[in-house]
Structure 1
Amino acid sequence: MNEQEQASDHRIVVGVDNSAGSVEALRWALAHARLTGYTVEAITAWQVPPTYVHAAGWRPTGIDDAGIIGYAEKTLAEAVAQVQGEDDHPVPVTTHVLQGPAAQVLIEAGKGAELMVLGSRGHGAFSGMLLGSVSRHCVQHAICPTVVIPK
């Protein structure tokens, strides 16, 4: 066994942002996990929009982190339930809502994973692009194989 095989934990990391592309990525990851026996870890990343943070690093009061996290947890659970509900033999999914830029969070979560699965476009600003900025960054920088599922 080589070093990468020894470090692998047979996990598939999936980025889920409640977009149609990320739901397709989750669906694909669950089907692949069923065939390989891997586990699935669905990740949603969140951060306070940069426009809310002033140049000196000061954050205005009134930003409800708990509300953002609660909404992210709810939408992630709904996406997982939707996709698992389509299957007679659902694969167990571990879910995590993590703070930080999506690409950075996913690359960190992908360390030691067998595979990372992403949708081709999420809720980014340039919806007409073939690859979104997060999937493009992850393809270029992830240390595990990365699959991008078209919408």
Structure 2
Amino acid sequence: MRPAEIIVGIDASPESRIALRWAADEATRRGRKLRVVHGVHSRWPDSAFSPEHAQFAAQRHAPEILAGARADLAQWAPDIETDLTTEFGGAAAALVAAAQPGDLVVVGNRGHSTFAALLAGSTCQQVALHAPASVVVVRGRTNGAGGIVVGFDGSPMAGEVLTTAFDMAEARGCPLTVLRAFRPSTPAWPAESPPPDLLNAMTAKLELQVELAESVVPMSEKYPTVTAEVHVVGGDPADLLVEASRTAGLVVVGSRGHGGFTGLLLGSVGLHLMHHSRCPVLIARPAS
């Protein structure tokens, strides 16, 4: 298996250039090779152009797009190893095929050509769902200001997500906030009656806070330079993460989960975050 790489999808859009810059910065921090993939379709559905014409146009513009990316990288990250290629067959398929566990795949939040309607369309979702590696959707504020926020749900995947978040925080030298959503169910007793201690929402929240703090201890010992805070917050998990993204530099979530983050990337919570986060979002997957 080759060493882990940073893989970024590009097209001719300004948003693609922002994603490329984000990926170049990450490759520099990590000392990793940067693989730049210009994925194009050989034809476009509902296009007035024939497949042959579309493929010719894509081939004609591909060298120009790669040359622009190469010039940007020479300015932004002249010391990193890079590999720039054009792949036919579709942007999502090209990025998924290029990735392996341990890589980090980076996509922008808008674009045209084969990256049209990222977030609104299928490319970003396909990469997020099917890539065998962690995926970053670059959107919102990308100046690097703010710490990292990670969504924790207590699922079997949660430990891997925490590891990814601590690792990213250590590389950036920034603080980490571990957030767990808490949504108490409607009480089964009359409002005027005192709730049973066992079902007391405040008690349950405090227990989750203790559990969360204990879960973070091993990571804090492994990453002693990372300042981490833990918070159990009442509310809708999607709204909480979007609100946290207003001041964060990166939001980290798992690709699967339960509890406060049920259905992430499979239903409304994940889609809401990918549409409305105010900063880049990292969808964490195990490195093996």
Q: TM-score, normalised by structure 2?
A: 0.43
Q: How does 1:72-87 map to 2 (within 5 A)?
A: 72-85=208-221, 87=222
How big is the shift at 1:130? 7.9
How big is the shift at 1:140? 2.2
- CA RMSD, aligned part only? 2.9
Higher RCO (C-alpha 8 Å, min separation 6): 1
How big is the shift at 1:83? 2.3
* Residues 119-144 of structure 1: per-residue CA shift (max 9 Å, x gap): 1111159x7x7834433331222111
Q: Which residue of 2 aligns with 1:13?
A: 149
Q: Is the 8 A contact 2:251 2:280 kept in 1?
A: yes
| Residues 1:82 and 1:59: Cα distance change in structure 2 (over 3 Å) | farther
Q: Which residue of 2 aligns with 1:112?
A: 247
- Secondary structure, aligned partner of 2:163: helix
| Residues 1:45 and 1:88: Cα distance change in structure 2 (over 3 Å) | closer
Q: Which residue of 2 aligns with 1:30?
A: 166
Give the residue type in structure 2 aligned to 1:74: V
Distance 1:46 1:18 in 2: 12
How big is the shift at 1:90? 4.7
Distance 1:41 1:83 in 2: 13
* Residues 48-94 of structure 1: per-residue CA shift (max 9 Å, x gap): 23xx269xxx8685251211211210121122113223x16351201
Residue-pair matches, total? 140
Q: Which residue of 2 aligns with 1:147?
A: 282
Give the residue type in structure 1 aligned to 2:275: Q
Distance 1:24 1:18 in 2: 11
Q: Is the 8 A contact 1:21 1:149 kept in 2?
A: no
Q: Is the 8 A contact 1:19 1:122 kept in 2?
A: yes
Distance 1:136 1:75 in 2: 28
Q: Is the 8 A contact 1:42 1:93 kept in 2?
A: yes
Give the residue type in structure 2 aligned to 1:25: V
* Residues 32-56 of structure 1: per-residue CA shift (max 9 Å, x gap): 111111110111110123xx269xx
Quick one: percent identity of the two aligned structures? 29
- Secondary structure, aligned partner of 1:107: helix
Distance 2:187 2:201 in 1: 13
Among 247, 259, 265, the residue aligned to 1:131: 265
